[in-house]
Amino acid sequence: MRLIFGSFLNVCISRLPRKESVVHPRSRCPQCGAPIRWYDNIPLLSWILLRGRCRDCKESIPWRYPVVELSVGIWFLTRGWQVGYLVDLAKDSLSTARWREALNALMPPAIRVLHCRYVSQNFHARLSAKGKIYRYRIWSGSVLPPFEYGRAWHVPRRLDFDLLKKVAKRFVGTHDFAAFAANRGKPEKSTVRTIYSVAVRRSGSCVTIDFDGDGFLYKMIRLIVGALVRCALGKSRVEDVTDWLASARGGHARFAAPAEGLFLVRVHY
């Protein structure tokens, strides 16, 4: 992502002095004018794979392009992920709608920017967050559809849906979630978190669980979902989960649900 902003900066450097649009037309080779294909426009990587030459005319591509991309990537890495820094480059010349168009023109097809807005200089995309909503998806049918592969946890057994909803309510409120957190290599300042709501829904074989809270510990959602599913399969008792939550320690046997069912839905600022 940081290199993508470096690539966008290259576009700004080339076009803004000439008062050209940074969105249209597509980027072209500065030597022969041939349109640059999307797979030849991957920041830094494409320049390396093409050995610094245009695919069409074989002329050398200036060193400025990879140097700017790499420099911006390193700068963002050392300063932290703060999009607000980059916006200042053209704050007076580009509207938020133009920023959205420009970013989407450079992003891979699988990544889309839906909204843009200006923020204060002290904004931090991670540290300024007031809360988050995570969603976990479970497919409880006997056969996992191909389009759900990698997007849901396949549990090919019948889940006690009512019991799953009942146990999920136990996690609402402010608790010490140390029993539902994994060690990421450094101790947490606090393992107390507040979950505002847990919404459990079912549509056919798909079960979705939405967690809305002020913050989440490492693997916290996956460990909670693992406990919920074990209860819904009759492998754990409701009292066990309650005791684990009250104990605030992880000495019990735990099971983390796989990562492919977990999605970040929204960040509250």
* pLDDT, mean over the chain: 79
Q: Using one digit for the tens of pLDDT, what is the confidence trace for 174-230?
A: 999 999 998 877 888 899 999 999 999 999 999 999 999 999 999 999 999 999 999
Q: Can you list the domains of the chain with their CATH numbers?
A: 2-106 (no CATH), 131-268 (3.30.70.660)
Q: What is the pLDDT of residue 17?
A: 52
DSSP bridge partners of 60: 53
Q: What is the pLDDT of residue 2?
A: 47
- Specify the range with the lowest mean pLDDT, choosing from 60-69, 125-134, 204-213: 60-69
Q: How far is Cα 40 from Cα 177, in angstroms, rounded to an integer?
A: 46
DSSP bridge partners of 196: none
64 closest CA partner among 99, 93, 30: 30
pLDDT > 60? residue 40:
no
pLDDT-based confidence at 106, cuts 50/70/90?
confident
Cα angle, residue 118 at apex, residues 26 and 267 outer, rounded to 5°: 100
Q: For residue 144, which phi and psi values (nearest 5 degrees)?
A: -85, 120
Query: How would you label 112-126 residue by residue, b for 16+ Cβ within 10 Å and e otherwise?
Result: eeeebeeeeeeeeee
pLDDT > 80? residue 88:
no
Q: How far is Cα 141 from Cα 128, in angstroms, rounded to an integer?
A: 40
Q: What is the pLDDT of residue 3?
A: 44
Q: What is the pLDDT of residue 100?
A: 86
